[in-house]
Amino acid sequence: MQVSANTVTFSVALPDGALPPEYLDESGKVSVLANAVAGTMDIVSRAEVTALERLRAGASVAEDSTTLAGLRDRGYVFDDPVVEDANYRGVVDGYFEAIKEAPFQFMFIPSFVCNLACPYCFEGELTRKSPRMTEEMIDAAFDSIPMIQELHENSGPPYITLFGGEPLLDTAPQRESIEQILSRAYDRGYPVTAITNGVALDAYVPMLLEYGCEEVQVSLDGTPEVHDTRRVFRNGKPTFKLIEHSIDVAAAAGLRVLIRVLVDLDSVGQMPEFAEFALAKGWIDNPKIRLFYGFTKQTSFLYVTPDHPPEKREKMVRGDVKPSLQEAFYRMLRDNPLVDRMLEPDPARIRAAVLEGDRVRPNLQGCSAGTSVVAFDPNGKVYGCPETVGRPQHACGDYFPGFRYSGGYREPWRHRHVDTVEMCRECNVKLFCGGGGCPIKAWAASGGDFNTCYCPKVSTIKTRVESELAYLLPMALQRRQSRTASGSPEKGMGTWDQMTTVGSFPWMT
């Protein structure tokens, strides 16, 4: 009997009295086991943790046989290495076979120009002046779609995303380019989405509906007081009211609207007020509207080239979301259930497992840009990540005036995953982080090698999961207590005694 290499132990601080003393370690925390191959996650007792660690250390575990049998049933411990390896290969290989038939996103950038001057924009100076896609370029981009899918061994349905700059600029030349893209997508039966700042979305709604656009994404950075200090026109004029109006027009017309809320230390305290606003607007309960969030982050890594000195590369790549922001975010959420209802945060991708009894889903790639995203820019170049557009060192080919695919750059990136990055192979949290971190950051930091690792330290990955568990588990415990008190049956669950034979919550049924 052995401990699975994919079994991870998380240590989580919960409120006093949340669980009986036998679940608390010496520091007063509870232990949560998770195995993304087995799909399991369980709160375990101190005795179960001790038995697991004794087995991991190679000690005699005869007296622990009953306990370990329960852990084996949940996939944390195994008897047969061949079966264990087959289960792992089934998860990893099965994922990469599945994405060959998954939808493939083709992003069209008719121009880099944007009418806003957001301080955190990753395209920066590109948005001031730009060429515009011609009709010939648009035709060439559509013609290259089957070739790119063949190179990616992808047979999934293509879909088109309008991207920028700002794709929905309300100017005659831009409207002409957008209609050309929409009409060609419509003729081919390709679904269309759009990512827009939203200030002129209302003017485009009739055109988008005419050509079957399915959804649009817009951004609001919280309340007007916060939003209008940064998502502003180049002359400094505010945009909140214009975007609010566009959201209402689009949703009323039948478009699905995704509202992205960027959160940072300046805006996190305004989230409760914004949630009250969204509730009053009817956005939270509107089936055509979904609100989600992202953290602002630095983007200097996009400017790195392999010939930068190592110390400069490291400095430019370092830094992402500060721990203090995540801590402030969770503090705010605990005091404001409406914000949780609005955003349903899930940075570690475990929310459904904890709250709904779903299985833990392995994260085998940190970003879909590696396999199923391509962007066409107005210079005739092809990019594999929308954040890298306009930076020639990250172009993976051309679509105009002729088609060229840079296999030397793109192929190592496309095939990069938890088994190809050496540092990830022996890491037992790799299935929670996607393996190796952002591939562009890894490429930049290493001087041009995709099969290297640039990720937060293992302790940071574990902290991310533990922070979300500390937030979600009290909610899960409270729900179960409420159901027990009301006599309501727990779908797919046994009694409390049955649940505690292997741990408190057998999430996977």
Q: What is the pLDDT of residue 116?
A: 96
3-state SS class at 57: coil
Least confident of 28-42, 171-185, 244-258, 491-505: 491-505
Amino acid at 176: E
**What band does 503 get if pLDDT is binned at 50, 70 and 90?**
very low
Q: What is the pLDDT of residue 482?
A: 59
Check residue 394 and report its DSSP letter: G
pLDDT of 281 > 70? The answer is: yes
3-state SS class at 346: coil
Residue 271 lies in a domain: yes
Judge contact between 491 and 353, C-beta under 8 A: no
Q: What is the pLDDT of residue 188?
A: 97
Residue 404 lies in a domain: yes
Q: Which residues contact 487 (CB under 8 A, 6 or more apart)?
A: none
3-state SS class at 60: coil
Residue 138 lies in a domain: yes
| Cα–Cα distance measured from residue 445 to residue 304, given in angstroms and rounded to the nearest whole number | 8
Judge contact between 432 and 363, C-beta under 8 A: yes
Q: What is the pLDDT of residue 486?
A: 44
439-446 helix and 310-317 helix, angle to the nearest 10 degrees: 160
3-state SS class at 54: helix
Residue 259 lies in a domain: yes
| Cα–Cα distance measured from residue 38 to residue 3, given in angstroms and rounded to the nearest whole number | 13
Q: Give the structural domain span for 331.
A: 104-413
DSSP letters, 112-181, are: S--SB--TT-SSGGGGTS--B--HHHHHHHHHHHHHHHHHTT--SPEEEEE-SS-TT--SHHHHHHHHHH
Q: What is the pLDDT of residue 319?
A: 62
Q: What is the pLDDT of residue 456?
A: 64
Residue 229 lies in a domain: yes
pLDDT of 353 > 70? The answer is: yes
Q: What is the pLDDT of residue 299?
A: 76
Q: What is the pLDDT of residues 333-344, one digit of tens each?
A: 999 999 999 999
Burial of 81 (0-12, 13-18, 19+ CB in 10 A): exposed
Mean pLDDT for 141-158 is: 94
Comparing 434 with 469, which gets the higher pLDDT?
469
3-state SS class at 105: strand
Residue 448 lies in a domain: no
Residue 443 lies in a domain: no
Angle at 122 between CA 182 and CA 467, to 5 degrees: 105
Mean pLDDT for 306-310 is: 83
Least confident of 161-170, 175-184, 389-398, 488-497: 488-497
Q: Tell me, rounded to whole angstroms, the distance of Cα 107 from its chain centroid.
A: 18
Q: What is the pLDDT of residue 457?
A: 62
Mean pLDDT for 457-472 is: 86
pLDDT of 246 > 50? The answer is: yes
380-408 core/surface letters (b: 16 or more CB in 10 A; e: else):
bbbbbbbbbbbbeebbbbbbbeebebeee
Judge contact between 470 and 476, C-beta under 8 A: no
Establish whether the linkage from the previous residue to 435 is cis, with ω within 30° of 0: no
Residue 171 lies in a domain: yes
Least confident of 125-129, 370-374, 505-509: 505-509
Q: What is the pLDDT of residue 418?
A: 82
Helices (H), 162-266: 172-188, 201-210, 224-227, 240-253
Mean pLDDT across the chain: 88
Count the neighbouring beta carbons within 10 Å of the beta carbon of residue 188: 11
Q: Can you give the CATH number for the domain in which 268 is found?
A: 3.20.20.70
| Cα–Cα distance measured from residue 11 to residue 13, given in angstroms and rounded to the nearest whole number | 7
Burial of 103 (0-12, 13-18, 19+ CB in 10 A): middle
Q: What is the pLDDT of residues 63-104, one digit of tens each?
A: 788 889 999 999 999 999 999 999 999 998 888 888 888 899
DSSP letters, 268-337, are: GGGHHHHHHHHHHHT-TT-TTEEEEEEE----GGGG--TTS-HHHHHHHH---S-HHHHHHHHHHHHH-H
Of 189, 180, 190, 136, which Cα lies nearest the Cα of 160? 190
pLDDT of 368 > 80? The answer is: no
Q: What is the pLDDT of residue 371?
A: 81
| Cα–Cα distance measured from residue 159 to residue 167, given in angstroms and rounded to the nearest whole number | 16
Q: Which residues contact 170 (CB under 8 A, 6 or more apart)?
A: 200, 203, 204
Mean pLDDT for 241-267 is: 96
Tally the domains of the chain.
1
Give percent of the chain with pLDDT exceeding 90: 63
Mean pLDDT for 283-303 is: 88
| Cα–Cα distance measured from residue 499 to residue 210, given in angstroms and rounded to the nearest whole number | 53
**What band does 225 get if pLDDT is binned at 50, 70 and 90?**
very high
Q: What is the pLDDT of residue 499?
A: 26
Judge contact between 98 and 368, C-beta under 8 A: no
Comparing 458 with 186, which gets the higher pLDDT?
186
Q: What is the pLDDT of residues 257-278, one digit of tens each?
A: 999 999 999 999 999 999 999 9
Amino acid at 167: P
Give helix then strand counts, H and E, for the chain.
19, 15
